[in-house]
Amino acid sequence: MILERKWMRFNQYITEKRTNNVIIVDIQPEYSGYIRFMDKFTSFLNNQRRILCFYNGSDVGSNDKEIDIIEYFIDNGLDEDKAYNDIKYIEKGYGFFRGWMDGGVDPGTIKKAIRFMVSKKVNDSRNISREEWTKKLGDIWSYASYDDPIYLPDIRINELKRWSGSYLCGGGKDECLKEIQILFSVFNIKYILVKEFIY
């Protein structure tokens, strides 16, 4: 079974009483205008195991700090003990693959590029010459800009692999969440998307 392709419906969690670890992407006050599921979401989280919460913070111009996210969750029904003790909060940065994603480069090509960067031990696509990229990926510069790079986020992959098989939720579905999905795919980190909690 390919976990990353599996969508589960909220009723399945209730009727089957499934619990798991959860990875959250950008469910935070900054984006509350887009999030319509907080009561149901915190009820879901109260019954899960460990939680990894990625968020955008001051590094990318957000006003949200860890304490703001904790209070946001508690105000919307999350158990206070769980909010403080069962959730690991990580400021993840923003837009590490978006330059190429927004240019129309398909996810498969981006994954190939990331693997190539890892093999070369570089974090920034500009550390590889245009010519070498063209040789590796073909007509990449019809879509991507060399000066609008992709880069590897400052997230510890070995630690992230311990979360393989977790539920994955958050947003935006075609932006930050998609970046995390691409990152997980490159490093073979499995996940189960929770459709009800994606914005």
Closest Cα partner for 53 from 68, 40, 37?
68
- What CA–CA distance (Å, rounded) separates 40 from 136? 46
Total domains in the fold of the chain:
2
pTM (2 d.p.): 0.89
DSSP notation for 73-95:
HHHTT--HHHHHHTEEEEE--S-
Using CA of residue 130, residue 151, residue 188, residue 103, what is the dihedral sign?
A: negative
Domain presence at residue 152: no
Are residues 90 and 43 part of one domain? yes
Strand order in the sheet with 7-8: 7-8, 191-198, 166-170, 22-25, 51-55, 87-91
pLDDT value at residue 108: 97
pLDDT tens for each residue of 140-181? 999 999 999 999 998 999 999 999 999 999 999 999 999 999
Instruction: State yes or no: pLDDT of 3 exceeds 70.
Output: no
Are residues 77 and 20 part of one domain? yes
Mean pLDDT on 32-40 = 97
What residues are paired with 153 via a beta bridge? none
Domain presence at residue 7: yes
Are residues 40 and 84 part of one domain? yes
Collapsing DSSP to helix, strand or coil, 49 comes out as: coil
Domain presence at residue 148: no
Closest Cα partner for 70 from 53, 48, 57?
53
Backbone dihedral region for residue 165 (phi beyond 0: left; psi -120 to 50: alpha; all else: beta): left
DSSP 3-state helix, strand, coil percentages of the chain (rounded to 5)? 45, 15, 35
Instruction: State yes or no: pLDDT of 2 exceeds 50.
Output: no
pLDDT value at residue 14: 47
Domain presence at residue 147: no
Owning domain of residue 129: 98-142
Are residues 47 and 111 part of one domain? no
Are residues 80 and 109 part of one domain? no
- What CA–CA distance (Å, rounded) separates 170 from 158? 22
Which tokens belong to 4?
A: 């990353």
CATH code of the domain covering residue 26? 3.40.50.850
